[in-house]
Amino acid sequence: MDALIDKLKGEIIEQLNLEDLKKEDIDANAPLFGEGLGLDSIDALELIVLLEKNYGIKIQDPKDAKAIFTSIQTMADYIKANQK
Amino acid sequence: MNQKLETYIAADNIISPLGFTTAENFEQLKKMQTGVQYFEQSELSPEPVFAAVIDSNKINSEFKKFPVKEEFTRLEKLVILSINNVLKQNPKIDITGKKTLIVLSTTKGNIDLLDTSIAQKFDKKRAYLWEAASAISRYFDNPNKPVVVSNACISGALAIIVGKRMLETEQYENVIVVGADILTHFVVSGFQSFKAVSSQIAKPYDASRDGISLGEACGTIVLTNNLSNLNQDSKIIVKAGASSNDANHISGPSRTGDGLFIAIEKTLTEANVNASEIDFISGHGTATLFNDEMESLAITDAHLENVPMNSLKSYFGHTLGAAGIIESIVGLQSMRENTLIGTYNFKELGVSKPINIIKQTTQQQINNCLKTAAGFSGCNVAVLFQKQ
Amino acid sequence: MSDQNYITSFCSIKSSKVCINSHIDYSESSQVSSIDFLKSAYKHYQLAYPKFYKMDSLCKLALITSDLLLKTNKITENYNKEEIAIVIANSVSSLETDVEYQTTIDKNNYFPSPTVFVYTLPNILLGEIAIRNGIKGENTFFVFDKFDAGFMSSYINSLLNNSRAKCCITGWVDFYENKVESFLYTVEKQPGIMNIEHTSEQLTKLYTNQ
């Protein structure tokens, strides 16, 4: 399993207080918002903070966030592409 | 129902970057002068920010005119100055009497005291909202326990309704409703983390709006049910008011405007006033995409879309617990002078329903003024002021 | 219409004990932390509301108490959702979360958290209860040094007697340091089976017995 994806799952569970979920409950390709994990607009903003705090990546335009946070897989791809 | 006592406005005051009295503020508004400024660098934010900030030197020099027995925080000083001003306007209000209640509207009170670099002079407990309220009532020797209303961005308008309801119980003759919030790093960073702060001066209801401007202010309205406590000929009453909840989301407004619609409908029903009798709406108009859109839906559903409406957020910034009070006071002054204030920075309507936003200061007879607001937790409020 | 109103149900959580209409319904050793107790109560009552975990402690306490309170009556079925008011007070506002948020804006570790910031308003708990139950009526949050039976009874009676609401979910919810307690109750125009008048005296008695 991709170590980054595993790490991201743990961080998301902790940061977004998804205490009733375990890492193995989350499918890396499932949508984070709406049907999937059921995250909402505040969670999206918190994910922006998470990227900045844990990976040093700043999303300048919040409109970009939607594509980046489609799933854990897209988040991981974005981190790999943008991490210095 | 028994003969109902009316709730009259006995005095009012606004302290903002535009002035330290209602008259000073209204003069600036008539000229469409904004209090929002650009700060390249400030204690408020690591990034540049537009905000409406009151000069601390001015607060301190005004405050020195009054003798004090103890230290007061920046917020408390504003409240004391504002209440002193209304008492000077109307000496018939006996603040030391059992018949006068103080209602404080604030969201964050002395939140600056959590920053240890500011807090040294005060006990940690002073960050409790009721401690701040107690300090204020102690200063004025008011014998009653102050009431604190802390209900996000509707606090101010809601506190006016609470004041009216407390007068209806006939336990009191006067209620001094004071609303205040100061601008702090705490509040600015929070709204920035929400990506809700505008990169310009807020543009309420405009097509190019992109968020709020924050501000700080204090406002006081004295309510009385005793006609002989009035010292002016023009009589305005708080006719009715109601609050509601969207039951939808804690930080985003309803997408349909149903919550605000409920508050408006309940207010008009209680007042026994038709939508066609409303002359002016003092809107919430924070200039976020979703808030202003939501308001346009609720206003249209209530058949108020043709009524002249403004937002003062581009003059004062969003002043949280003070907003509903200072915006209501501007509405009262508009009624007295029959003058509608144009919405600064509004050029082109950018909401889906064709509501009637006032662009320029204009003269018009106003008998019924509706104040509306909405806030975090999905809360909404409407208050109706009426000329007698 | 009579000006008399009645307390028709009540629920409190304090010192690792849940009391519903005066009987202890669930408890744990007082050694357990307040937040752990809330989580185990949530599981014990199978409240099945995943949003619970996202709330701050103050809202968790308010949500569980209101859920258990509303299970004992039919308020949300018997009344139109616009006719139900929620009026709650406390002494600490949202200080527990305010202090937590302040740590996220430390100059040396500056990552302001939106999910924490949103809970730095005490009235968010009114919103959480409203969302959970679809309640759309009057909403007010007050702050006092301590539970004020005189003010609360007078304000809520005035709401009901002036037809601004037909029933009210009300009371006290505090969560800060060692001050953790909730006491919520419903007020209606009919006496119900309890037949407790909503007066300052009755309310004081009920509150101090919790």
pLDDT digits 0-9 by tens, C71-94: 999 999 999 999 999 999 999 999
C167 assigned to some structural domain: yes
- Strand B100-105 versus strand B174-181 pairing type: parallel
pLDDT of C115 higher than 90: yes
Cβ-based neighbours of C5, under 8 Å, separated by 6 or more: C156, C157, C160, C161, C187, C188, C189, C197, C198
pLDDT at B231: 85
Rounded distance, CA B132 to CA B75, Å? 8
**Cβ contact B251–A42 (<8 Å):** yes
Rounded distance, CA B31 to CA B132, Å? 35
Which of B87, B15, B88, B29 has the alpha carbon at shortest distance from B58?
B15
Residue numbers of chain A with a pLDDT score lower than 70: 1
Q: Tell me the residue range of the domain where C105 lies.
A: 6-209
pLDDT at C1: 57
Query: The complex's ipTM?
Result: 0.97
Name the closest residue on chain B to residue A45, using Cα atoms: B194
CA B191 to chain centre: 19
Neighbours of B191 (CB within 10 A): 23
Q: Enter the tokens of residue C199.
A: 């007066």
Rounded distance, CA C66 to CA C71, Å? 8
Whole-number average pLDDT of chain C: 96
B161 by DSSP, 3-state: which?
helix
Which of B159, B185, B195 has the alpha carbon at shortest distance from B290?
B195
pLDDT of B214 higher than 50: yes
C1 assigned to some structural domain: no
Distance from CA of C53 to the nearest CA of A (A): 6
pLDDT of B311 higher than 80: yes
User: Which residue of C60, C104, C113, C117 to mutate against A (max A Cβ within 10 Å)?
Assistant: C113
Domain count, chain A: 1
Average pLDDT of B144-170?
A: 97
Distance from CA of B255 to the nearest CA of A (A): 14
Helices (H), C72-193: 75-78, 95-104, 114-117, 124-133, 149-161
pLDDT band for position B120 (cuts 50, 70, 90):
confident
Interface of C with B in 2-21 (CB under 8 A): none
Contacts of C50 in chain A (CB under 8 A): 18, 20, 38
C92 assigned to some structural domain: yes
Distance from CA of B194 to the nearest CA of A (A): 7
Average pLDDT of C175-191?
A: 95
Give me the residue spans of the domains in chain B: 8-229, 238-387
For chains A and B, CB pairs below 8 A equal 13
Rounded distance, CA C156 to CA C132, Å? 22
CA B346 to chain centre: 20
CA B359 to chain centre: 21
Name the closest residue on chain A to residue C43, using Cα atoms: A20
As a whole number of Å, the end-to-end CA separation of chain C is 32
Helices (H), B169-276: 185-193, 258-271
CATH at A17 = 1.10.1200.10
> For residues B244, B247, B253 and B257, what is the CA-based torsion angle, rounded to 10 degrees?
-60
Q: Tell me the residue range of the domain where A37 lies.
A: 3-82
Contacts of B262 in chain C (CB under 8 A): 82, 136
Summarised one tens digit per residue, pLDDT across range B72-96 is: 999 999 999 999 999 999 999 999 9
Name the closest residue on chain A to residue C109, using Cα atoms: A53
Rounded distance, CA C67 to CA C43, Å? 13
Is the domain spanning B8-229 CATH 3.40.47.10? The answer is yes
Whole-number average pLDDT of chain B: 96
What is the number of residues in chain A?
Answer: 84
Contacts of A20 in chain C (CB under 8 A): 50, 53
pLDDT of B301 higher than 80: yes
The CATH number of the structural domain formed by B238-387 is 3.40.47.10
Rounded distance, CA C125 to CA C131, Å? 10
CATH at C189 = 3.40.47.10
Domain count, chain C: 1
Using CB atoms, list chains with 3+ pairs below 8 Å to chain C.
A, B
> For residues C101, C105, C106 and C109, what is the CA-based torsion angle, rounded to 10 degrees?
110
pLDDT of B2 higher than 90: no
Q: Could you tell me if C66 and B150 are in contact, meaning their C-beta atoms sit under 8 angstroms apart?
A: no
Cβ-based neighbours of B375, under 8 Å, separated by 6 or more: B151, B152, B153, B154, B155, C123
Using CB atoms, list chains with 3+ pairs below 8 Å to chain A.
B, C
String of DSSP letters for B53-79: ---HHHHHHHHTTS--SS---HHHHHH
**Cβ contact B145–C151 (<8 Å):** yes
**Cβ contact C138–B243 (<8 Å):** yes
Judged by a CB distance cut-off of 8 A, whether residue C177 touches chain B is no
C123 assigned to some structural domain: yes
